[in-house]
Amino acid sequence: MYGPCSARENDIWYCNASDINDYMMYLQPQVTQDLANGIGTKYFSTYGDRIYVQQECISRAHKAPVGGALTQHQLDENDAMKGCREPVEWTFGALVNMFGIFQTYMIHWKLLSKGRQNNDIPFKQYMVCCLLYNCRVCASGGNNVSVFFDSKPPTLDEYLAFL
């Protein structure tokens, strides 16, 4: 998680301000070395909208070259990734529904934010609620997102030990 930041900023601003690409490369030192040596390697990346700039650890949908077309593989990959984006958003809705305080904050954050000056309290509360939500998911053995991705969460003890 990155923040607190003004709710007036867009996703690109958050991406640049957080240095997420550099941080993910830092967490994968072998990737940096392999890329420098021209070795193709698999590594972790995050997937963003078409608006994002393609970077080492930020992937995005394939875009057809000027006057060209996407390959069938690229079209299939775009379709597959599009289907993965929606379930990731389910967690944000679950958080707002689980912690009613955010139903009010979500409406007023944009109205109350002025420039880059923020009230830290809602952001800190949000981080605590994320922690509690993750604990609940771990303790109950998963949620609709883990079912969709067929990925079992860690146990609560494993999750808390990681923190």
Residues 55 and 91 in one domain: no
* Domain total of the chain: 2
- Say if CB 87 and CB 149 are below 8 A apart: yes
pLDDT score recorded for residue 14: 80
Residue 75 lies in a domain: no
Distance CA 163, CA 131 (A): 10
Which structural domain range is residue 23 located in?
1-60
Residues 163 and 121 in one domain: yes
Residue 2 lies in a domain: yes
Residues 93 and 157 in one domain: yes
Residue 125 lies in a domain: yes
Residue 129 lies in a domain: yes
Residue 40 lies in a domain: yes
Band (pLDDT 50/70/90 cuts) for residue 7 is: low
Residue 100 lies in a domain: yes
Residues 54 and 95 in one domain: no
Residues 35 and 97 in one domain: no
pTM recorded for the entire structure: 0.64
Residues 25 and 95 in one domain: no
Tell me the per-residue pLDDT of 101-141, one tens digit each, with 9 for 90 and over: 766 665 555 545 544 455 566 777 778 888 999 999 999 99
Residues 8 and 52 in one domain: yes
pLDDT score recorded for residue 57: 84
pLDDT score recorded for residue 125: 79
Residue 77 lies in a domain: no
Q: How distant, in Å, are the alpha carbons of 21, 37, 139 from that of 86? A: 22, 36, 24
Q: Which residues pair with 117 in a beta bridge?
A: 114
